[in-house]
């Protein structure tokens, strides 16, 4: 056999800080496999991601047990890979959610973890590293560290250039982040070029009316809004609103129908969700709230546009509150947000739909009381 199995703790290996890779002086007491240079980085890591993955790291960082057969050993290795892949996704989603919530500092440790696990599983030059580089770039941009963001982006660009099997989805993400970088540098010409590419690749990957394409339209609209080209901005904001309206309205209808049937048959509450992960929900809130702010500042001209966005946000919060995935702290936060939208009763919602051609026919299928009553009744919580 030509395979070399590394020692569990190779000679001369120094223990490094999880966050900055400086020599470590502390260890996490709960898992005893994670090290830090000091209490500052330990706290930062705990608050960002370590609390969620502390126990998951133990099997990854302790030496593999002694296996009696090659079969068992292969099985052990496969399990290890599965665990790492799970951690990649978990850290990525957590970091993304922080970014959409504007908590860029918290996003960095989680994004770094996602990058490291990707390197372990896929190697140093795999295109799988690109999403993690892009997250780190976005977090750096949010923290005003433009140079660092550029470094991460050029690493991502280089990896994409070398790769022959890069998906449209990753091309789209790369261009979106380059667009954001040039926006931060106030080079709007370049930013527009990259955002147009983002929309093109996202449309190739998912379709022109897909929520994954809405981010590109949204940032492009922000550029035009900043440049006072209000007509163009308005058209793009409307496009984004319509994409989210269609998506959420479809889910809203499914929930309403399922709820009616389920309560009749089984007499118990039906639970479903938005079909979005936590990061996508945070993105939806960020995009729709920004559009709402823009609409409210110009609502004298077109109040119906403000109400349209309010209606979409209402559907989003409603679906999130009924999410079977929702954990209790998140639900509590959602409930706070919900108070803002409680005044939107059935009359308002049905009047909103009167100027929304896409949602009108589907809302008419079932009566308004069925659609709305779960929101306003106390049992909906
Ligand atoms: Zn450190
Ligand atoms: Zn720990």
pLDDT at 326 over 80: no
Q: Which ligand is nearest to the CA of 53?
A: 2
- How far does residue 51's CA lie from ligand 2's centre (Å)? 7
Q: So what's the pLDDT on residue 316? A: 85
DSSP-based three-state secondary structure for 207:
coil
Higher-confidence residue: 302 or 283?
A: 283
Q: What is the 99 CA–ligand 1 centroid distance (Å)? A: 21
Ligand 1 mean position, distance from CA 125 (Å) = 25
**Predicted confidence (pLDDT) at residue 80 exceeds the cutoff of 70:** yes
Indicate whether 99 pLDDT > 60. yes
Question: To the nearest whole number, what is the mean pLDDT of the chain?
Answer: 78
CA–CA separation, 355 vs 363, rounded Å? 12
Q: Would you state the pLDDT for residue 3? A: 58
Q: Give the Å distance between the CA of 15 and the centre of ligand 1.
A: 11
Distance 26 CA to ligand 1 centre (A): 10
| pLDDT(261) > 90 | no
What pLDDT was estimated at residue 68? 82
Confidence of residue 92 (pLDDT cuts 50, 70, 90): very high
Ligand sitting nearest the alpha carbon of 34: 2
Place of tokens 């308004």: 368
Of residues 201 and 305, more confidently modeled: 201
pLDDT band at 134 (very low <50, low <70, confident <90, very high): very high
Q: Residue 331 C-alpha to ligand 2 middle, in angstroms?
A: 26
> Residue 26: nearest ligand to its CA?
1
Q: How many angstroms is it from 330 CA to the middle of ligand 1?
A: 30
C-alpha span between 142 and 218 (Å, rounded)? 17
What is the DSSP annotation of 243-311? HHHHHHHHHHHHHHHHHHHHHHHHSS---B--S--HHHHHHHHHHHHHHHHHHHHTTTT-HHHHHHHHH
Question: Residue 13's pLDDT is what?
Answer: 60
Centre of ligand 2 to C-alpha 106, Å, is 17
| Band (111; pLDDT cuts 50, 70, 90) | very high
Residue 231, Cβ density class (10 Å: 0-12 exposed, 13-18 middle, ≥19 buried): exposed
Pick the range with the lowest mean pLDDT from 27-31, 57-61, 89-93, 337-341: 337-341
| pLDDT tens track for 187-236 | 999 999 999 999 999 999 998 888 888 999 999 999 999 888 888 998 99
What pTM did the predictor assign?
A: 0.69
Write phi, then psi, for 250 (nearest 5 degrees).
-60, -45
Greater pLDDT, 361 or 321: 321
Looking at residue 356, what is its pLDDT?
43
Over residues 130-145, mean pLDDT: 92
Cα of 130 to ligand 1 centre, how many Å? 24
3-state class of 323 per DSSP?
Answer: strand
C-alpha to C-alpha distance for 92 and 125, rounded to whole angstroms: 18
Provide the terminal-to-terminal Cα distance of the chain, rounded to the nearest Å: 60
369 has a pLDDT exceeding 70? no
Summarised one tens digit per residue, pLDDT across range 141-178 is: 889 999 999 999 999 999 988 888 788 988 998 999 99
Higher pLDDT, 57 or 14: 57
CA 47 to ligand 1 centroid distance, Å: 14
Q: CB 371: neighbour CB atoms within 10 A?
A: 23
At residue 185, the pLDDT reads: 87
Region 349-363: mean pLDDT is 43
**Short-list 286, 137, 308, 136, CA closest to 211:** 286
Query: How many percent of the chain have pLDDT more than 90?
Result: 32
Whether residue 295 has pLDDT greater than 90? no
């Amino acid at each position: 056999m030509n395979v070399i199995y590394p020692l569990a703790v190779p000679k001369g290996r120094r223990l490094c800080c999880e966050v900055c890779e400086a020599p470590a002086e502390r260890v996490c007491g709960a898992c005893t496999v994670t090290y830090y240079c000091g209490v500052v980085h330990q706290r930062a890591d705990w608050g960002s991601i370590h609390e969620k993955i502390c126990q998951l790291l133990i099997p990854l960082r302790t030496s593999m047990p002694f296996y009696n057969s090659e079969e068992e050993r292969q099985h052990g290795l496969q399990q290890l890979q599965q665990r790492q892949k799970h951690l990649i996704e978990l850290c990525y989603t957590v970091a993304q959610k922080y970014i959409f919530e504007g908590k860029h500092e918290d996003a960095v440790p989680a994004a770094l973890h996602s990058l490291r696990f990707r390197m372990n599983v896929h190697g140093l030059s795999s295109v799988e590293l690109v999403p993690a580089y892009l997250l780190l770039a976005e977090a750096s941009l949010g923290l005003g560290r433009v140079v660092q963001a550029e470094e991460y982006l050029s690493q991502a660009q280089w990896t994409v250039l070398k790769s022959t099997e890069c998906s449209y989805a990753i091309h789209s993400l790369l261009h979106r982040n380059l667009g954001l970088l040039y926006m931060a540098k106030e080079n709007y010409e370049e930013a527009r070029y990259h955002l147009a590419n983002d929309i093109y690749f996202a449309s190739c990957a998912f379709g022109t009316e897909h929520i994954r394409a809405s981010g590109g339209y949204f940032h492009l609209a922000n550029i035009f809004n900043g440049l006072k080209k209000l007509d163009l901005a308005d058209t793009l904001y409307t496009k984004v609103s319509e994409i989210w309206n269609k998506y959420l309205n479809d889910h809203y209808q499914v929930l309403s129908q399922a709820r009616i049937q389920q309560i009749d048959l089984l007499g118990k509450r039906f639970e479903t969700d938005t079909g979005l992960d936590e990061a996508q929900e945070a993105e939806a809130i960020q995009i729709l709230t920004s559009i709402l702010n823009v609409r409210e500042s110009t609502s004298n001209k077109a109040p119906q546009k403000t109400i349209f966005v309010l209606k979409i946000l209402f559907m989003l919060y409603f679906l999130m509150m009924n999410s079977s995935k929702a954990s209790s702290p998140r639900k509590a936060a959602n409930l706070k947000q919900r108070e803002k939208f409680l005044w939107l009763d059935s009359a308002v919602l049905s009047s909103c739909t009167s100027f929304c051609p896409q949602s009108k026919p589907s809302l008419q299928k079932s009566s308004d009381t069925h659609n709305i009553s779960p929101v306003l009744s106390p049992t909906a919580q």
